[in-house]
Structure 1
């Protein structure tokens, strides 16, 4: 269950738009590290509400593009909407695990509102850059969940019982624990990383 293709894979930036996408990602990662530190569950709750935005925005704009041009989307729309739904399930899972505070819920409202409009504009003017940003976001997500796994293994984070919503969504064993959930989520993020980097390459 733990194995999947190159969990720590990195896409080297090529050109100024890639470098800007990577710099923006590292900028946000810095603030996430400062604010959440080792509170991985709470970090996941806030960040997964953001992670669910790009797929929905991109899926909507790709849908409108296909309608305008009266042509096939080559499967992009469903892939992007599936990604958004998957990220939403990550959120619902970690809500059960972490029970976010009122302040974190308020932070989510602010962060999501700002990021939705930002990402919409980026995708409108440069879909390639937008997908590269998501690819780099997912690279950082893989790293964060890998750190989470290490702290579970080292006893820093308690390996609690997996919530039922996660067991049903990922078809986990009835006695699954938090470690199993984090592995499944990390696998999803690695897949989103590869898909978005590929989409960005296809738009080059």
Structure 2
């Protein structure tokens, strides 16, 4: 498993182009909207956002797979990397589901948001894969900050000592007595890795490369 140096945990990619700035603006607008809808109910907020966060890597894996078939290219392991990321985001979701069941209106919101975002991201990827990966990278950046805020909130109440779900302990190979804080720390590490991978892919496309030289 990749590990992110603590000094790089909050690394931010400065926008290089207008498309980058638009991608960052979309992420900030979405974050503000989620904050307005859920307020301090961060567990429910994560449940909704994680159903959307798993979309970019699955779209990237699908379209990259088709591209490699069409052009007869070696994917250098990137298809599996993005599929693993999609699975990882699904595990994030299921770990929070074990802690906070979404309400009826949140399930409706999830269905609407996922349908709209999947189609929008799919079209964006066809138009500009570079911008799509940059958008995904900024989403992951925001997730790192969001989980960090959640850790601060947990430290102010008793929920930080709640036991982590058994499925989360098994997935991240955590000690048996791990709590919710340990689980979120692992999730934050995941998001920092996703951030770096998507930004690296966007940079490679901007440089005219079909793929980054390696996916570590």
Q: Same fold (TM over 0.5)?
A: yes
What is the Cα deviation at residue 100 of structure 1?
1.2
What is the Cα deviation at residue 103 of structure 1?
1.4
What is the Cα deviation at residue 5 of structure 1?
5.1
CA 99–3 in structure 1, closer or farther in 2 if over 3 Å, else same: farther
In 2, Cα distance between equivalents of 1:107 and 1:153: 29
Match of 1:172 in 2: 174
In 1, Cα distance between equivalents of 2:159 and 2:18: 39
In 2, Cα distance between equivalents of 1:21 and 1:71: 28
Question: Aligned to 1:61, which of 60, 63, 82?
Answer: 63
Q: Deviations over 1:144-182 (max 9, x none)?
A: 000011111222755311011101100111111000000
Q: TM-score under structure 2 normalisation?
A: 0.91
CA 117–147 in structure 1, closer or farther in 2 if over 3 Å, else same: same
Match of 2:19 in 1: 17
What is the Cα deviation at residue 59 of structure 1?
0.2
CA 66–3 in structure 1, closer or farther in 2 if over 3 Å, else same: closer
Q: Report how many aligned residue pairs link the two structures.
A: 204
Match of 2:130 in 1: 128
Q: Which stretch shifts more, 136-145 or 2-11?
A: 2-11
Show structure 2 runs of 5+ residues with no match: 207-216
Match of 2:211 in 1: none
- Aligned-residue CA RMSD in angstroms? 1.5
Show structure 1 runs of 5+ residues with no match: none
Q: Deviations over 1:101-150 (max 9, x none)?
A: 11111111110000000000000110000000000001110000000111
Q: Verify the 8 A CA contact 2:4 2:193 in the aligned structure 1.
A: no
Q: Deviations over 1:76-105 (max 9, x none)?
A: 111111110000000010000111111111
Which runs of structure 2 are paired with 1:39-188 in the superposition (5 Å)?
39-155=41-157, 157-188=159-190
Say yes or no: does 1:191 pair with 2:188: no
Q: TM-score under structure 1 normalisation?
A: 0.96
In 1, Cα distance between equivalents of 2:102 and 2:112: 15
Match of 1:7 in 2: 9
Match of 2:37 in 1: 35
CA 196–176 in structure 1, closer or farther in 2 if over 3 Å, else same: same
What is the Cα deviation at residue 4 of structure 1?
3.8
SS at match of 2:8: coil
